[in-house]
Amino acid sequence: MLALWGLGMVVGNTAGGWLADKALTRAILGFFVWTVATLALFAAVASSVWLAGLELFLVGIGFGLVPALQARLMDAAPRAQSLASAMNHSAFNLSNAIGAWTGGLAISAGLGWAATGYVGAALALAGLVIFIIALKLKERD
């Protein structure tokens, strides 16, 4: 299962870099939507080993968001790219911790393992909303 997820990440990172070069903002928006959809789908298919394996591959593709976000950061911080890159990595680590914590809360509340898909989808949706707000604020500048 981890190999399927990892393979999805390879596909996603390759596609993410390519799409970021073609249309950066649309790539980020697309990968956010992809992530919300695939994480929400996880809750529906988690009880099937075969579908869960396919789903993990699809979730892995969502990591194509990483190179696209990194490229945007390099554009947004031309005079502090090393600092921006370090902060980006820190933000991903923080998001991993928040995801594990909130997923654990769902499991502890008795919602089951599959509910972690809904938790992840909600967190990804929050990230999408924050990104859209950032785009709107940039338009006002």
| Per-residue confidence band for 140, with pLDDT thresholds at 50, 70 and 90 | confident
pLDDT digits (tens, 9 = 90+) for 51-107: 999 999 999 999 999 999 999 999 989 999 999 999 998 999 999 999 999 999 999
pLDDT digits (tens, 9 = 90+) for 9-54: 999 999 999 999 999 999 999 999 999 999 999 989 999 999 999 9
The answer to whether 62 and 31 are in contact (CB under 8 A) is: yes
Cα–Cα distance, 52 to 66 (Å, whole number)? 23
Cα–Cα distance, 24 to 47 (Å, whole number)? 36
Checking if the pLDDT of 134 tops 80, the result is yes
Checking if the pLDDT of 141 tops 80, the result is no
